[in-house]
């Protein structure tokens, strides 16, 4: 897959990632380090909560979404995250769920302060193997322009 | 520290976490798994980027913030994240930075659908050892009411 630059994007472009499976062990490992709450950490006790079983931390879902986004868009020199809005987790992620991310390009503009960069506004929607939405977000990222390397 | 319930909170309450150090190895480990971009992953190449050195993924900062928030507020039965708004990373996190989180309670209301729960709106501000802000966000979380267990 070629490295992508700001100039390669058009508003309305959509990109679909490969799916990735999330294991119960990964859910527990992430929770132990970053979100040590019973419904993310202890399968037996999680059965007694309103989730009726182990679920992934929303931050784990967000991190997996980032990996799929980075791998799929494959920006030359990377995408620098400026911020995220309306991050939501409408359905839980459970062990053995398979997640994929669809990215839509919402807006494109040149950086005012850094002429070699453009600002991409995008929407990422993360779904499980049943097509249920497990995360939505809008993000702004700073991405190198192709012309920066040919001027 | 006692377990905290929704009913223990007042609008305007502030909570300050203990500090935690972030190592270069942790930054690279997180990036390898979730955000494999050169400025998060490869110290020598990161020197050549606009960051002039290795920086943590914003999602890593967000995950560390969650851990500090969970440990500091210590909700009985946990806090269920409903969503996050205006997540920003105004300054980068670098190896050996020491991060702490201040949580302010912005709004409190009872859950409409689940009478045993309240909805907390909060603002988390994450700072480094020099007092520079590395992350800000607003969050909504569902937290058990104390009365749920005494009715």
What does the pLDDT look like over B46-76, one tens digit per residue?
999 999 999 999 999 999 999 999 999 999 8
Contact A66 B57 (CB under 8 A): yes
What does the pLDDT look like over A21-48, one tens digit per residue?
999 999 999 999 999 999 999 999 999 9
Strands B117-127 and B133-144 turn out to be: antiparallel
CB < 8 Å to B77, chain A: 38, 49
Nearest-Cα residue of chain A relative to residue B31: A67
A8 has a pLDDT exceeding 80: yes
pTM: 0.95
Mean pLDDT in residue range A127-136: 98
Band of pLDDT at residue B29, cut at 50, 70 and 90: very high
Contact B81 A88 (CB under 8 A): no
Give the span between the Cα atoms of B119 and B144, in whole angstroms. 9
For an interface test with A, which of B62, B139, B145 has the most A Cβ atoms less than 10 Å from its Cβ? B62
Angular region, A78: left φ>0, alpha ψ -120 to 50, beta rest = left
B85-117 in b/e burial notation, b at 16+ Cβ within 10 A? eebbbebbbbbebebbbbbebeebeebeeeebb
Band of pLDDT at residue B1, cut at 50, 70 and 90: low
Q: What angle do CA B40, B41, B47 make, to 5 degrees?
A: 75
Q: What is the SS3 assignment for chain A? A: CCCECHHHCCCCCEEECCCEECCHHHHHHHHHHHCCCHHHHCHHHHCCCCCCCCCCCHHHHHHHHHHHHHHHHCECCCCEEEEEEEEECCCCCCCCCEEEEEEEEEEEEECCCCCCEEEEEEEEEEECCCCCEEEEEEEEEEEECHHHHCC
């Amino acid at each position: 897959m070629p490295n992508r630059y700001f100039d390669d994007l058009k508003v309305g472009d959509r990109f679909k990632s490969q799916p990735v499976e999330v294991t119960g062990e990964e859910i527990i490992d992430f929770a132990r380090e970053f979100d040590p709450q019973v419904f993310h950490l202890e399968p037996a006790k999680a059965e007694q909560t309103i989730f009726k079983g182990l679920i992934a931390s929303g931050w784990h879902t967000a991190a997996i979404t980032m990996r799929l986004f980075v791998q799929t868009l494959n920006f030359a020199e990377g995408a620098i995250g400026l911020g995220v809005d309306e991050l939501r987790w409408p359905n839980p992620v459970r062990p053995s769920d398979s997640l994929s991310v669809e990215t839509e390009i919402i807006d494109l503009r040149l950086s005012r302060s850094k002429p070699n960069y453009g600002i991409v506004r995008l929407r990422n929607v993360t779904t499980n193997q049943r097509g249920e939405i497990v995360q939505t977000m809008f993000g702004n990222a700073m991405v190198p322009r192709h012309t920066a390397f040919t001027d």
